[in-house]
Amino acid sequence: MRARIYLPFILTLIYVFNAAAQTGHAPPVAPVAATRHNLMPVPASVRFNPGRLPVGKSFSVAVRGQADPRLQAGIDRMLRRIEGRTVMELPRGLAADAASATFVIESAGAGKAVPSVDEDESYTLEVSDRQAALKSATAVGALRGLETFLQLLDGDRDGYFIPSVHIQDRPRFPWRGLLIDVARHYQPMEVLKRNLDAMAAVKLNVLHWHLTEDQGFRIESKKFPRLHTMGSDGKFYTQDEAREIISYARERGIRVVPEFDMPGHATAWLVGHPELGSAPGPYTIERKAGIFEPALDPTREEVYKFLDVFLGEMAALFPDAYLHIGGDENEGKQWDRNARIQAFMKEKGIKDNHALQTYFNKRLLTILKRHGKIMMGWDEIFQPDLPQEVVIHSWRGPAALAEAAKKGYKGVLSAGYYIDLIFPTAQHYAVDPIPAGSTLTAAEAAHVLGGEATMWSEWVSAETIDSRIWPRTAAIAERLWSPRETTDVEDMYRRLDVVSVRLEELGLTHEKNQATLLRRLAGGRDIAPLQTLVSVIEPVKEYRRYRQRPQTMLSPLTGLIDAARPDAGAARRFNAAVEKLLSDAPRFDSHSHQVKTTLAEWMSAAPELEALIDGSPALHEARPLARDLAELGATGLEALSYMSRGVAPSAGWRDARLAALEQIAKPKAALEFPVIASVRQLVVAASEMSRLKQLTPAEWKEQVKTLAAPPAKQPGN
C-alpha cells in the first residue's frame, strides 16, 4: 500500500522532469482553442457563431462579379468533392438567382494573368443558417476560400452542414512552396497533378520543379536535344507536357518555378555536351546518390552562349517571373585540377572558387535579365558582390536567411522543411521563416518571402513519393499561411489526421499504398502482423540511409523501408499514452490499459512475423526487427507489472533491460523504433521507485533527469 501512495508523486515527477531534461525548461502548456475545428491552415481570423447551414441535394452555387474560368473550374471541383463525401447528386452548373443560392461567391477581379508572388490571396467567408457568402479580390483568393469551405463541411445524425462562421483570411507569407525533385527519380505526370491538387487543398502556391541533376535531365530542349535524349534514360517531360503542368497549376492558383542546377550537379548536362564541362569527357548519367565533381566551365565564352540560348528557350516555356539556377554543393574539384581555369582565375584576379562561382552567377544574371527572369539560387550563391536582385533560397536556416534579408536580399527558407529527411511533423512545424524574437525590422522582414518543403527524390518512386510528402507538408503549409501564434502541436496532429484522409479524395496514395507494398512483400499472406511492425518503425533520419542501405537510382524502392512512413502514427499514439500514464498517476489503471494492449499486440505479432519472414526472402532483413518488437513488448509489460504491484525489480533487471533497449535502438535494415524512449521511461519508473521515494524533491529532480533521459546517440547511428 505504501508504494501505491508514493506512486502518483513518483510517476508525475518522472514525466515532468524528463520533459524538462529534453527541452531545457519546464514543459510548455499548449493553449486551448476556443473552438475546435478541422481547418488547416488555420485562418488569420475565425469566429464561430450559433447555427448551421444545411448541405442537401438542393445545394447550389451562384457567382457575382468576375466569372474567371479558373473560378468556374474550382467551383466544379468543389461540387464533385462534396458529392464524393456526401453521396448526394448535386445540381450541375451555377444558379441564376444569387438570392436563393446556398453559396454565393463574389470575386472582384481575375487577378494576375500569370500567377505572381504578389497575388492577392485574401478572402472573407460568412456562413449563416440561410446562406454562405465568399468574397475575394481575385479568383485565386476565391479558390483559397473554396478550400476552406470544403474543410468546414461536417455531418451528424441530422445531415451534412457548414457551421455558422465568420472568417477573414490572408496568408502570412506570399511564397509557400513544395519542391519536387524529378531528376533523381522521374515522376510521371499523374504524380505531379495529384500533388498540385493537394497543394491547392492546403493553400500552397509554388511548385518548385527541380528538373536537372547528376542523375537526369528531365525537360525537352528543342534547341539542344542531346540534353534530354542522352541525359534522361528516355524519361523526360516534353515541352507540351510542361505547358500542361503549368496550365494545371495555374488553374489552381499555383506558380511553377523551374530549376536548372548549375554549375555543379551537372553530370546529366555533360552526357550530351561534354564540351561544356571543366574536365574532358565522356560523361555518363550518375547512378548513385551524393555530391559529384562534374561542373560547367565558367571560364569559357562558349558555355555562356550555350546557356543564353537554352535559358532563353526555357524562359519562353515557363512564364513565372523566377528561374532557379541551383548553385549548390559545387566543390570545385574539377576547377582546381584544370590548368586553364586556374590561369583564367589568376589573370582576372579571382581569388578562389567561391569568387569564380560569383563570376559565373553574375554572367548568368545578365542572361536571365535579358530574358525577363529574376534569378534565384541556393545559399552558396550568396557571396560578396552578388547583386541584390538575386533571391536567396536558404537550406542553412533562419539565421542565414535573416543575414541575407538584412543586406537587402529577398529570400525563401527550406532549412527545417526537408521532408525527405523523415523528421516528425512537429519538428517541421516548429520552424518559422521569421521566428519569434527575430531582430529583423519590418522592412527587412518583408524580404523574407516565405518557405518551401523539399522533396528530394533519391529514395522515392511514384509509388512512395506521396507518403514522404503527405500529410506532413500540410503542417508546413500551415506554418507559412497561418499567424505565427498558431503553435498548438497536439491540435495540429489532431487536425492533420483529418486532413490526411481528405487528401485521399484527390488521388493521393500516402495512406493506401503502404498496404499494397506490404502485400507484395508478404506474397499474398495475411499482412496484419507486418502492419503491426511497420506501424511502430520509421526509416532512419537525415542521410543515414545512404550508409546503412547502399542502393543506386536503379534500385527497386519496394522494401520494408519504403513501406514504413515518417512520423509513424501508432508510435506517436503509444508515446502519448505513456506520457499520460506517467503524468496522471491517479488514473494509472485506466491509462495502463491502452499501453498494455499495445505492448501485448507487439508480443503476439512476433511469432506470426517470423513465419511471414520465413516465407519471403525479401523480408529476411526484418527478422531482427521482429525480435526487437517482441522484446519491447515484453519489457514494457514487465515494467507495468512491477508498477501495478508497487514492487521494485532488482537492479540487475533494470540494467539488463536498459542495455537491451540500447541495442534495440540501433537501426536494422535502416529502420528504427521511435517508441524506445517511452519503453525506457517505463523501465525507469518501475526500477527506481523504491529508491527515489526516499529522496528530497530537489534530489528527485536531478536523479530522474539523469535516469529517464535516453543515452546520447553515438556517431554513425
Above 50 in pLDDT, residue 496?
Answer: yes
Stretch 314-333: mean pLDDT: 96
pLDDT at 710: 56
Is it the case that residue 94 has pLDDT exceeding 80? yes
Q: How confident is the model at residue 47 (pLDDT cuts 50, 70, 90)?
A: very high
**Cα R_g (the chain), whole angstroms:** 28
In this prediction the pTM is: 0.92
Q: State the Cα–Cα distance between residues 181 and 563, nearest whole angstrom.
A: 20
pLDDT class for 25, splitting at 50, 70, 90? very low
Q: Are the CB atoms for 492 and 425 separated by under 8 Å?
A: yes
Copy the grid coordinates of residue 24.
531545457
Of 407-421, 443-457, 530-544, 694-708, least confident by mean pLDDT is 694-708
Query: Annotated catalytic, 244?
Result: no
Catalytic residue among 329, 601, 608, 662: 329
Number of C-beta neighbours around residue 347 at 10 A = 9
Residue 709: band (very low, low, confident or very high) from pLDDT cuts 50, 70, 90: low
Please check whether residue 473 is in contact with residue 453, taking contact to mean a CB–CB distance below 8 angstroms: yes
Transcribe 634-699 into DSSP letters: HHHHHHHHHHHHT-PPPHHHHHHHHHHHHHHTS-BTTEE-TTHHHHHHHHHHHHSHHHHTTS-HHH
Residue 38 clears pLDDT 60, i.e. is over it? yes
Question: Which letter does DSSP use for residue 28 in this model?
Answer: P
Q: For residue 182, which amino acid is it?
A: V
Angle of CA points 530, 535, 539, to nearest 5°: 100
Give the confidence band of 693 by pLDDT, cuts at 50, 70, 90. Answer: low
- Report the chain's terminal Cα–Cα distance, integer Å: 43
Q: pLDDT per residue over 579-619, tens digit each? A: 888 876 667 777 789 999 999 999 999 999 999 999 999 99
Confidence of residue 651 (pLDDT cuts 50, 70, 90): confident
pLDDT at 390 over 60: yes
pLDDT, greater one: 709 or 281:
281
Residues 692 and 703 sit within 8 Å (Cβ to Cβ) = yes
H or E stretch including 548?
helix 544-548
Q: Check residue 376 and report its DSSP letter.
A: E
Q: For residue 105, what are the β-bridge partners?
A: 63, 134
pLDDT in tens, 224-267: 999 999 999 999 999 999 999 999 999 999 999 999 999 999 99
Indicate the helix (H) or strand (E) that contains 176.
Answer: strand 175-181
Phi and psi at residue 288, to the nearest 5°:
-100, 170
Q: What is the mean pLDDT of residues 42-71?
A: 94
Q: In this predicted structure, what is the pLDDT of residue 13?
A: 33
Nearest Cα residue to 279 out of 339, 208, 357: 339
Domains within the chain, CATH numbers bracketed = 2-24+526-708 (no CATH), 45-169 (3.30.379.10), 175-485 (3.20.20.80)
Q: Which of 10-24, 139-153, 444-458, 613-627 has the lowest mean pLDDT?
A: 10-24
CA 351 vs. chain centroid, Å, equals: 39
Split at pLDDT 50, 70, 90, the class of 383 is confident
Mean pLDDT of the chain: 91
Distance CA 13, CA 692 (A): 10
| Positions of E strands within 253-404 | 255-259, 322-324, 374-378, 391-394
| pLDDT at residue 30 in the model | 35
The distance between the two most distant Cα atoms of the chain, rounded to a whole number of Å, is 87
Stretch 76-104: mean pLDDT: 95
The pLDDT confidence band at residue 15, using thresholds 50, 70 and 90, is very low
3-class secondary structure, 577: helix
Distance between CA atoms of 148 and 662, rounded to whole angstroms? 46
Q: Are 560 and 672 in contact (CB under 8 A)?
A: no
* Segment 465-478 mean pLDDT: 98
CB neighbours of 170 closer than 8 A, spacing ≥ 6? 44, 121, 122, 123
Beta bridge partners of residue 605, listed in sequence order = none
- Of residues 429 and 31, the one with the higher pLDDT is 429
Question: Beta-strand (E) ranges in 37-122?
Answer: 45-55, 61-65, 103-107
β-pairing, 159-169 vs 45-55, is antiparallel
Q: Determine the average pLDDT of the residues in 622-647.
A: 94
